[in-house]
Amino acid sequence: MAETNQGYKTRQRDLILEVLKKQGNRHLTAQEVTDLLHKKGTAVGKSTVYRYLEKLAQDGIVKKYTVDGEKSICYQFLQSHETCINHYHLKCEKCGKLIHMECETVDRLAEHIFEHHNFHLNTAKCVFYGVCENCKKGE
Amino acid sequence: MAETNQGYKTRQRDLILEVLKKQGNRHLTAQEVTDLLHKKGTAVGKSTVYRYLEKLAQDGIVKKYTVDGEKSICYQFLQSHETCINHYHLKCEKCGKLIHMECETVDRLAEHIFEHHNFHLNTAKCVFYGVCENCKKGE
DNA sequence: TTGCGTGCAAAGGTTTTGCATGGCA
DNA sequence: TGCCATGCAAAACCTTTGCACGCAA
């Protein structure tokens, strides 16, 4: 939902997106985004940062989640956001990596949950936590 | 570590533990523990609640973690072994309700993800987002 | 009695909100 | 021009900390 509701294009929004994209696979807190912009000499008000990050999360352009141990909310840019509608995410609690998973078996999950639990799943926002292959090896 | 370091036995500590145990498979925030005690007419200072929950977490008696969408830290009493192993959460994006779901079909998910995606799921932390029955009706 | 536990209030952080102003379309 | 976006400050929260007093052992 809300894919087309882009709102206005402003200097601040461009700057925020740029910072998020530059961080690639890493997640950032609102504070970190604010600080990075400040250091670059292109400061943006923190309420703007919070509000825009929230909007991007609603639109499925960034992922918003909490990480155990971090006291703040984390945001992460989704590389190919158009494909994030119908797949799921695996978040490694060790290295912070976000894995995009497409899988038929898991696809049936939404259907099942709707039919048997009367719950309308928003698959784009579902995050499974655990430990990825690499981190498991290193334990 | 620190399993035997029980400290003093006090009225407040008994009350806090009692509330946690009574909630069984559910997780509680420090605020909820405080409120429940207040409603029961046996109020305990919130710093005491925070401090004791932290101690219980250190001692491995409760589990401390964050849940996406919940702004507060969650605590959950650990039964002997089976706690949140086969227990998933449905979080309604409309009303914020957290539904605790036990379901065989979903149980197989962890197994599937491990076998086919080499990812070790931490089921206790998995949260499915969507819209619950009641909110869907009201739309 | 000794030292840990408790409760209040204040501090420290993060996130949200109100409101006047600014700027895109 | 009509809205939406921005930024500041204040508010609202959650959690931690300092300190005097209370209480278990």
pLDDT tens column, A53-106: 999 999 888 988 887 778 899 998 987 644 555 667 787 877 767 787 777 877
Lookup: nucleotide whose C1' is closest to B71 CA:
D14
User: Does residue B54 sit in helix, strand or coil?
Assistant: helix
CA-to-C1' span, B38 to D17 (A): 23
Helices (H), B65-103: none
Task: Give the gap in angstroms from C-alpha B38 to the nearest C-alpha of chain A.
Answer: 27
The pLDDT value recorded for residue A110 is 83
Cβ of residue A58 lies below 7 Å from strand D: no
- Among A104-108, A119-123, B29-33, B83-87, the range scoring the smallest mean pLDDT is B83-87
Q: Which residues in range 70-99 of chain B are in contact with strand D, contact meaning CB within 7 A of any of its atoms?
A: 71-73
CA-to-C1' span, B47 to D15 (A): 9
Query: A1-80, what's its fold?
Result: Arc Repressor Mutant, subunit A (1.10.10)
- A123-130 average pLDDT score: 76
pTM for this predicted structure = 0.76
B101 vs A117, A122, A130: nearest CB: A117
User: B129 CB near a chain A CB, below 8 Å?
Assistant: yes
User: Which nucleotides in chain D have some atom under 7 angstroms from a protein Cβ?
Assistant: 4-10, 13-18, 23-25
The pLDDT value recorded for residue B81 is 42
Element (H, E) at A66: strand A62-66
Cβ of residue A30 lies below 7 Å from strand D: no
Residue labelled with tokens 């840019």: A77
Where does A86-139 sit in CATH, by number?
Answer: 3.30.1490.190
Question: Contacts for A70-75 with beta carbons within 8 Å, 24 or more apart?
Answer: A70/A29, A72/A29, A72/A30, A72/A31, A73/A29, A73/A30, A74/A27, A74/A28, A74/A29, A75/A20, A75/A27, A75/A28, A75/A29, A75/A30, A75/A33
User: B67 CB near a chain A CB, below 8 Å?
Assistant: yes
CA-to-C1' span, B71 to C22 (A): 33
Q: Is B105 in contact with A116 (Cβ distance < 8 A)?
A: yes
Number of other residues whose CB lies within 10 A of the CB of residue A41: 6
CA-to-C1' span, A50 to C21 (A): 19
Percent over 90 (pLDDT), chain A: 35
Q: Where are the domains of chain B?
A: 1-80, 86-139
pLDDT band, residue A13 (cuts 50/70/90): very high
B103/B44 Cα distance (integer angstroms)? 36
Helices (H), chain A: 11-22, 30-39, 46-58, 104-117, 133-137
For residue B90, which of A134, A123, A79 has the smallest C-alpha distance? A123
Q: Which residues in chain B have their CB less than 8 angstroms from residue A132's CB?
A: 118-120
